[in-house]
Amino acid sequence: MTDLVDEGPSYRVSAYVSARRKASRAARMARHPKLLAAASRTFVLRGYHAASMDEIAARASVSKPILYQHFSGKLELYLAVLQGHADALVSGVLLALRSTDDNHQRVRAAVEAYFDFVDDESQGFRLVFESGIVNESSVHRIVDRATEACVDAVFELVTQDSQLGPYQARIWAVGIVGASQVTARYWLDTGRTVPKHQAVEVAVAQYWSGLSGIPPQTVDRPR
């Protein structure tokens, strides 16, 4: 030990501390998805108020102090879980709208993205669309931002490919997003009485019958 101290304690101790910090950060990052998955399952099954940090820690196979190293409390953990599911919804809709240049197929893909979201085994849609914290502003902000992002994506598509003005295009975008969400949840809540692809086709037929009647955007060509 004397030799170690004499040979340069500052460098060796700093290197040791740095290595331990890196290892600790790596361990926390590795545990993070596991904690979020355990929390998501607990919140879906119990609801926010009935869920406990003890149960979440047990489900994740970690101690409660470990859980608190990642999240200061239940609300912060809930918001992190909610944000993850909201991001998944927005990503699904954006990918759907960018998957093709055919507008009919775009509408179908976007509607299917909502059905896929509510049909996911994680049931994360229940936290996004059926949150039990009705008075928590931070929850509303996450959900509202996700909804607006989906509306913005559809709005951009409609304005690019039709002659509708901004207000009319926004109405169409809000209508499609809202109807897709409600229709998908109805299909799930009524026990998936028809296969998903059939339910999607019925919904798309309704939306497209109105959308296809909008005059397309014309491009002025030089003479």
Q: How many domains does the chain have?
A: 2
Q: What residue numbers bound the domain in which 22 lies?
A: 13-71
| CA atoms lying within 13 Å on the CB side of residue 209 | 5
Same domain, 91 and 18: no
Same domain, 60 and 92: no
| DSSP letter string, 23-66 | HHHHHHHHHHHHHHHHHHHHHHHH-TTT--HHHHHHHHTS-HHH
Residue 62 maps to which CATH number? 1.10.10.60
Same domain, 97 and 156: yes
Same domain, 45 and 99: no
Same domain, 102 and 200: yes
Same domain, 98 and 193: yes
CA angle 202, 207, 210 (to 5 degrees): 130
The one-digit pLDDT tens for each residue of the chain (223 residues) are: 444 444 455 655 555 455 555 544 544 544 588 999 999 999 999 999 999 999 999 999 999 999 999 999 999 999 999 999 999 999 999 999 988 888 888 889 999 999 999 999 999 999 999 988 878 999 999 999 999 999 999 888 878 776 778 888 899 889 999 999 999 999 999 999 999 999 999 999 888 775 555 555 544 444 4
Quote the CA–CA distance of 172 and 165 in Å, as a whole number: 11
CB contact set of 16 (below 8 Å; sequence gap of 6+):
none
Q: What are 18-34's pLDDT values in tens digits?
A: 555 554 454 454 458 89
Quote the CA–CA distance of 191 and 206 in Å, as a whole number: 21
CA angle 109, 113, 116 (to 5 degrees): 130
Whether 19 is covered by a domain: the verdict is yes
Cα dist from 169 to 7, 15, 159, 164, whole Å: 72, 59, 6, 6
Q: What are 204-221's pLDDT values in tens digits?
A: 988 877 555 555 554 444
Same domain, 39 and 141: no
pLDDT of residue 17: 53
Q: pTM higher than 0.85, yes or no? A: no
Same domain, 107 and 164: yes
Same domain, 176 and 136: yes
Quote the CA–CA distance of 11 and 25 in Å, as a whole number: 21
Same domain, 64 and 23: yes
Quote the CA–CA distance of 120 and 210 in Å, as a whole number: 29
